[in-house]
């Protein structure tokens, strides 16, 4: 939009200054975007069929209006959903046109204004073909031309420029999307977060309202659009939790700054990598454990639990302490009684060896069942406290399907905590 405004001003159209904190009115934004469409047509017209039909996605023409007066809330919700799908839209595009108003800019350098926008990340990282629009000055005035190139070659050029200026997070990000086998997701996730936050702040969006929506289509696992709102760091923490199998949390925590707010138990934005620490090894190997305080390096919202003072032990009474073993316990008991009874009968009629053998068989079978049950259960010699603020009165019904032993819960104590029975 900044480049489109520059084009409009060159043509004599000066939009009315919006009120503080508000975007340009929708009609003005659409008029301004038309200047970009005219430039695109002037550059591509001589090189193709003038009567051809093209399907073009232009945000200001295709996204839902967010300032309608009749149904403002519904409109904002629809626009929010569409913004969360931009990565998929540009991934499916035949080609992506890249443009900024600076003269002779090839859009791969770090100085390009196009490369400073947050939403250009989903626009370019999966593009198969790139249409690079460039303006230059000639005797007859300003003119535009385009160069069509493969998407991976365009990203390789951006990767090269990032390396020249020691922007190693950008280098790693583009290297991953050029050849995913060279840079693993563990490094790419960190690089994406650093670059997304840098671009968001470069666009003067320090509240990071759309950070989650932009990264949602670029990480291995994605969240539902309705789960990403205006939670600032909450959206990022949720995406990190969904993608925890694709990166090393300790490594990410090792290069994070101090938290800027306390809305989530996540450290602040990642520190920008500099020359010399692009291969920074994790400074921490695990999260510290504490009994009475929050974990300082916990990225995902969680609480600290102390280690057990003694190791877990097999429950030698597992056959008797677990309801699911009730049927086996009763069956083995009656089989043992039957063996003892038959053994007594054989001893009574003088078949001593057969009777003693039945005694031993019954005891051996029962001991085997008892030993089997003791190997699949551990001793539960402590308490498990569950806060039921969110679960409500049906705590057992919700937890039971996840763990069979949590289906029987009883009230305990003055604080209405539920203990494992």
Q: Specify the pLDDT at position 48.
A: 62
* Statement to judge: residues 231 and 367 lie in one domain: no
Residue 44, domain extent: 1-165
Q: How far is CA 257 from the centre of its chain?
A: 20
Of the candidates 394, 398, 376, 402, the one whose C-alpha atom is nearest the C-alpha of residue 322 is 376
48 and 124 housed in the same domain: yes
Q: Are residues 343 and 253 in the same domain?
A: no
**End position of a domain, from candidates 276, 307, 338:** 307
The pTM assigned to this predicted structure is: 0.61
| φ/ψ bin of 399: left (φ > 0), alpha (ψ from -120 to 50), beta (otherwise) | alpha
**Domain match, 297 and 273 both:** yes
Is 264 found in the same domain as 225? yes
236 with 267, same domain: the answer is yes
Of 165, 191, 212, which one is at a domain's C-terminal end? 165
- Can you give the pLDDT at residue 316? 82
Nearest CA among 231, 216, 295, 292 for reference residue 261? 231
pLDDT at 421: 38
Number of folded domains in the chain?
4
Rounded mean pLDDT for each run of 10 residues along the chain, 421 residues in total: 85 74 77 86 71 84 66 63 84 91 88 88 90 80 82 91 84 82 80 85 79 87 80 77 78 65 59 56 40 44 49 80 84 90 88 88 89 82 61 70 68 48 38
* Inside any domain, residue 312: no
Question: Residue 145 falls within a domain, yes or no?
Answer: yes
Alpha-carbon torsion, ordered 240, 245, 247, 250, to 10 deg: 80
For the chain, helix, strand, coil in percent to 5 are 45, 10, 45
Q: Quick one: 51 and 160 in the same domain?
A: yes
Cα–Cα distance, 280 to 191 (Å, whole number): 13
pLDDT of residue 412: 56
Same domain membership, residue 158 and residue 27: yes
How many CB atoms are located within 10 Å of the residue 359 CB? 18
CA–CA dist 127, 150 (Å, integer)? 8
Boundary (domain end) residue, out of 307, 341, 365: 307
């Amino acid at each position: 939009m900044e480049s489109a405004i520059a084009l409009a001003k060159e043509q004599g159209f000066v939009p009315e200054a919006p009120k503080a904190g508000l975007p340009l009115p929708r009609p003005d934004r659409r008029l301004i975007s038309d200047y970009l469409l005219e430039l695109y047509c002037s550059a591509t017209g001589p090189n193709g069929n003038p009567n051809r039909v093209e399907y073009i996605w232009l945000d200001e023409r295709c996204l839902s209006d967010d300032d309608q007066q009749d149904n403002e809330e519904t409109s904002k919700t629809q626009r929010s959903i569409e913004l969360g799908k931009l990565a998929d839209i540009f991934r499916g595009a035949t080609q992506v046109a890249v443009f900024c108003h600076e003269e002779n800019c090839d859009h791969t350098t770090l100085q390009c204004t196009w490369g400073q926008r947050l939403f250009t990340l989903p626009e370019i990282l999966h593009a198969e073909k790139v249409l690079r629009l460039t303006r230059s000055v000639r005797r007859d005035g300003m003119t535009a031309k385009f160069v069509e190139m493969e998407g991976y070659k365009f990203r390789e050029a951006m990767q090269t420029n990032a390396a020249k200026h020691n922007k190693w997070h950008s280098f790693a990000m583009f290297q991953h999307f050029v050849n995913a086998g060279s840079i693993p997701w563990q490094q790419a996730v960190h690089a994406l977060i650093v670059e997304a936050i840098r671009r968001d702040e470069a666009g003067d969006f320090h509240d990071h309202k759309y950070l989650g929506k932009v990264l949602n289509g670029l990480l291995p696992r994605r969240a539902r659009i309705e789960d990403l709102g205006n939670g600032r760091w909450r959206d990022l923490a949720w995406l990190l939790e969904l993608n925890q199998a694709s990166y090393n949390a300790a490594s990410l925590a090792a290069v994070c700054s101090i938290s800027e707010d306390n809305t989530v138990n996540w450290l602040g934005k990642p520190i920008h990598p500099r020359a010399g620490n692009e291969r920074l090894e994790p400074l921490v190997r695990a999260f510290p454990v504490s009994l009475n305080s929050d974990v300082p390096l916990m990225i995902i919202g969680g609480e600290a639990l102390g280690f057990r003072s003694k190791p877990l032990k097999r429950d030698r009474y597992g056959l008797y302490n677990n309801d699911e073993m009730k049927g086996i316990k009763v069956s083995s008991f009656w089989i043992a009684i039957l063996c003892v009874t038959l053994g007594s009968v054989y001893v009574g009629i003088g078949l001593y060896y057969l009777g003693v053998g039945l005694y031993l068989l019954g005891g051996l079978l029962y001991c085997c069942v008892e030993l089997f049950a003791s190997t699949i259960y551990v001793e539960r010699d402590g308490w498990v406290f569950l806060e039921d603020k969110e679960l409500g009165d049906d705590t057992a019904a919700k937890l039971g399907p996840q763990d069979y032993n949590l289906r029987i819960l009883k009230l305990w104590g003055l604080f209405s905590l539920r203990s494992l029975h």
